[in-house]
């Protein structure tokens, strides 16, 4: 396991995105160029090791009803490996939805082990 201080700036950006539970396109604002505008094929190799170390889960945003009875959303269960790879290589997963509706979008979350990493 890499020591947290050994994380690259790009890896730290993905850890921040997972902390914020932002949808996947949000990571671009935390990346330096040329990665900020890179295609998914150049970003997936940065993210996959963090997933494989058990620090980040990739989920889809699902509906949630808060106690107030309104409508909201939250991360769903982690994606299975095949679905995960399909989602991460899909260019649309790396763009904000035109509709503004995040339901079904890909999001990153920290795993219990990822919450312990000082990034």
What is the per-residue pLDDT across 59-114, written as a single tens digit (0 to 9) for each?
999 999 888 888 888 999 999 998 999 999 999 999 999 998 999 999 999 999 99
The residue ranges of DSSP E strands in the chain, in sequence order, are 56-64, 72-78, 106-110
pLDDT in tens, 4-13: 568 999 999 9
The predicted model scores a pTM of 0.88
- pLDDT tens figures, 35-51: 999 999 999 999 999 99
Pick from 93, 16, 95: which is nearest to 55 by CA?
16
End-to-end CA distance of the chain: 13
């Amino acid at each position: 396991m890499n020591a947290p201080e050994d994380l690259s700036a790009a890896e730290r950006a993905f850890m921040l995105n997972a902390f914020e539970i932002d949808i996947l396109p949000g990571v671009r604002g935390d990346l330096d160029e040329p990665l900020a505008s890179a295609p998914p094929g150049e970003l997936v190799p940065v993210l996959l090791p963090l997933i494989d170390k058990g620090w980040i889960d990739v989920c889809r945003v699902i509906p949630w009803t808060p106690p107030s009875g309104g409508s909201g959303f939250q991360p769903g269960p982690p994606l299975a490996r095949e679905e995960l790879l399909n989602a991460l290589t899909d260019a649309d997963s790396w763009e904000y939805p035109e509709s503004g509706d995040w339901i079904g979008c890909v999001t990153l979350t920290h795993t219990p082990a990822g919450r312990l990493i000082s990034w």
